[in-house]
Chains A and B, each alone.
Chain A
Amino acid sequence: MATTADGKGGHGHASRRDILMVAATGAAAVGAAYAAWPLINSMNPSADVLALASTEVDLAPIQEGQSITVQWRGKPVFVRHRTKDEIAKAAADDKAGLPDVQADAARVKKAEWLILVGVCTHLGCIPLGQKATEGRGDFGGWFCPCHGSHYDTSGRIRKGPAPRNLEVPQYTFLDDKRIRIG
C-alpha cells in the first residue's frame, strides 16, 4: 500500500484516506442537492395553480366575425369565429414566406374557430385586435403594441420581433358548440 502518514498518497497513488475524502465529499454534495431540491421545487406552480388548468367555453353566442377572450391558467385565450374571407386569406398565405412556417389547417380543428393563447411570443404582452375598434395590424389578425409584432388571421407572426406564431393551446370539442381548453 502506498499510503503515507499525511494522507496525501505518495507517487501519484490515491490513498485510502483520499478515497474516503472523495466519497464523503461526494455523498455530502448529493445530500446537499437533495436538501436543496424541495426549496427550489417549491417555487414551481403549486397544486391549486395546476388544478385550474382547464377551462370550458360555450361557443354558441359568438357570432361570425366576433372574438372573445377567456382566461386560462391566468393567461388570455383568444377565441375567434372567423369569417369566410379570413379563412380564405389565412389559407392563401400558407406559402407567403412565413417566419415560422405552419399551414393554417394545422392550427385549427374546425376552420371557422381559431383558438389561440393571446400572449405575444416576444415578451408576453397581449396583442390588440380582439375588439373591432382595435387595430389589427397589417395582416388583419392581431397587433402587439409593446414592440410592434403583426399577426395574421391564423395568428401567425408576419412582421416584428416575435420569434414564433401565437401558441395554439390544447383543446377538444366536447360537442359542436362547446370546447374545453387544457
Chain B
Amino acid sequence: MSGAPRRQYTNPVIRWIEYRLPIFSTVEATIGADMPTPKNLNYWWSFGGLLTLALVIQIVTGIVLAMHYIAHGSMAFDSVEHIMRNVNSGWLIRYVHANGASLFFLAVYVHIARGMYYGSYKYPREILWMLGVVIFLIMMATAFMGYVLPWGQMSFWAATVITNLFSAIPVIGEEITTWLWGGFSVDSPTLTRFYSLHYLLPFAIFGVTILHIWALHVHGPNNPTGIDVKGPQDTIPYKPYYTSKYLSVFSAFMMVLAVLVFFEPNYLGHPDNYKPADPLQTPAHIVPEWYFLPFYAILRAIPDKLLGVIAMFGSILVWFILPWLDTSRVRSGRYRPLFKQFFWLLVIDFLVLMWCGAQPAEGPALIVARIATAYYFLHFIVILPLVGWFERPKPLPESISTSVLGSGAAAPKAAE
C-alpha cells in the first residue's frame, strides 16, 4: 500500500529495469497483486474481479470482430451476416461478445447492489464508489453504441430514439442532434462515428478501472461486517485464498456464458434486429436490451420530454451523492434492520421498472412505472437520509475476527 518502503527485488533483470523505470514497485503500490484482505469476504465480493474478466473478454472478442466488420450504412448488416456465416468461428466470437455484454451488465448490477447493501460507498471509499459510477456510465454508452453496429431495425431505431433524447435540450437541442448524427437523420455517418467510439470507450473503462482498483488498494476492500481491519488477526493474504475463490466464480460465469452462447444465443436479443435497418419503417414495439429497461421505463414514465430525459440521467447521477445521502455511520446493512428492508424494496422497485420498460407505455403498466419511478427517487432522496437518523442499528461485532470465529477467537492471533 502507499507509503510502504519500496521492495528490493532479487531478480537481476527486474532490478535492472526497476532502477531505470520503477514500474514493478509502482504497479505493486497501486494495483499490486498481493495485499492483506479481510478474512470474511463472501462471494458477493468476487464480482469486481469478475467484471475485470468480462471487460477483457469483451475487448479481446471485440478486437477480432473489428477485423471483419464494416461500419457503413450499406454494408454493416451484411458484414455481420458475413461474420456469422463465412468467418471461421465468427459466430462463436460474435455470440460471446453479444452475450458477454449482457452478463457484464448482470455482474455490474450485482456489484453495485453489493456496494449499496454493505455501505461500501461510505468514508473513506467515496471516490472509489464515484469512479465506479463513472465506469457504469461509460459502460452504458459503450453498450448502446455497440448495439447500433449490426444495423438492424432495433439498432437503427434505438439509435434514433436515444440520440433524439438530446433534442430535448432547450434552444440548441436540434443543432446538437444534427451534429451527433452528422446529417439530418441517423445514417451512415452516425454509424461510423459510433463504431469509432465503441472501439475507444472500452479503453476508457480500462483506464478508470485502474483508478478504481488503485482507490480500492488505499484503504483495502470493505467487508460484510463493514468494520475496519484492526490488525493481522482480521486478515488473510489475497493469494491464494481469494484468488482461488475468484477462480471458482470465474468458472461459474464461464459456464453461464457457455450455456447462453451454445444453446440460446439469441435469447436476450430481439428478432427484429435480424431485419436490415429501414429508415422509413419503425417497428411496432421498440424495446432496449434488458439491462436498459429500468432507465427506459423512467424515461417514459414522465409525460414531459425534457423532464423525462432529466429523470432518466438523474436516476444514475444520484448515485454520485449516495455517500452523503446515507446519513448512517454504520456501513453494513447486516446491522441496519430498517435499512435492510428498504434496500430490498429498492431491488424490487428496480425489477418492477425493468418489467415496465418492456411493456407498451400505456394503461396499467404506465401507472405502475410512474409509481415505481417516484419510489426510486424517494428512496435515495428522502428515505435514505431519514433512515440514518431514526434507525437504531444492531450492536457491531468487536472485530472482523470475532464475527467470523465467535467471541472466543481472540487467542489464535495469526491467520497466516
Interface positions of B (Cβ within 8 A of A): 157, 160-161, 163-165, 167, 178-187, 189, 193, 279-282, 284-286, 300, 303-305, 308, 360-362
Contacts and interface: CB of A to CB of B under 8 A. Distances in A.
B184 to A, nearest CB: 4
Interface range, A side: 20 to 34
B300 A46 contact: no
Main secondary structure of the interface of A (DSSP, over half): loop
Contacts of B167: 124
Given A73-B183, A74-B183, A146 B161 contact: yes
A112 to B, nearest CB: 24
A148 B285 CA distance: 11
A14 interface: no
A83 interface: no
Contact of B282 (A69, A74, A126): A126
A44 B178 contact: yes
Nearest to B163: A124
A4 interface: no
A49 B189 contact: yes
A155 B157 CA distance: 22
B279 A125 contact: no
A123 interface: yes
A82 to B, nearest CB: 21
A124 B184 contact: no
A74 B279 contact: yes
Contact of B286 (A43, A119, A146, A162): A146
B129 to A, nearest CB: 32
A177 to B, nearest CB: 24
Contacts of A74: 183-187, 279
Contact of B160 (A49, A125, A161): A125
A124 B164 contact: yes
A45 B280 contact: no
A133 B135 CA distance: 47
B305 A122 contact: yes
Contacts of A73: 183-185
Contacts of A49: 182-184, 187, 189
A54 to B, nearest CB: 12
Contacts of B282: 125-126, 144-146
Nearest to A118: B280
Given A71-B279, A124-B161, A43 B360 contact: no
A129 B415 CA distance: 73
Contacts of A43: 179-180, 182, 193
Given A45-B178, A46-B182, A124-B167, 14 more contacts: A40-B179, A49-B184, A49-B187, A49-B189, A71-B279, A75-B279, A123-B164, A125-B282, A125-B286, A126-B280, A145-B285, A161-B303, A161-B305, A163-B304
B361 A147 contact: yes
15 contacts: A43-B193, A45-B189, A46-B182, A49-B182, A74-B186, A74-B187, A75-B184, A75-B185, A126-B282, A144-B282, A146-B161, A147-B361, A148-B360, A148-B362, A162-B305
A148 B189 contact: no
Interface in A118-154: 119, 122-126, 144-148
A163 B182 CA distance: 24
A1 to B, nearest CB: 45
Contacts of A146: 157, 161, 282, 286
A76 interface: yes
Given A44-B179, A71-B279, A148-B360, A123 B161 contact: yes
Contacts of B280: 69, 71, 76, 126
Given A49-B183, A161-B303, A126 B281 contact: yes
Interface string A11-50: 0000000000000000000000000000010011110010
A49 B186 CA distance: 12
A85 to B, nearest CB: 27
A163 to B, nearest CB: 5
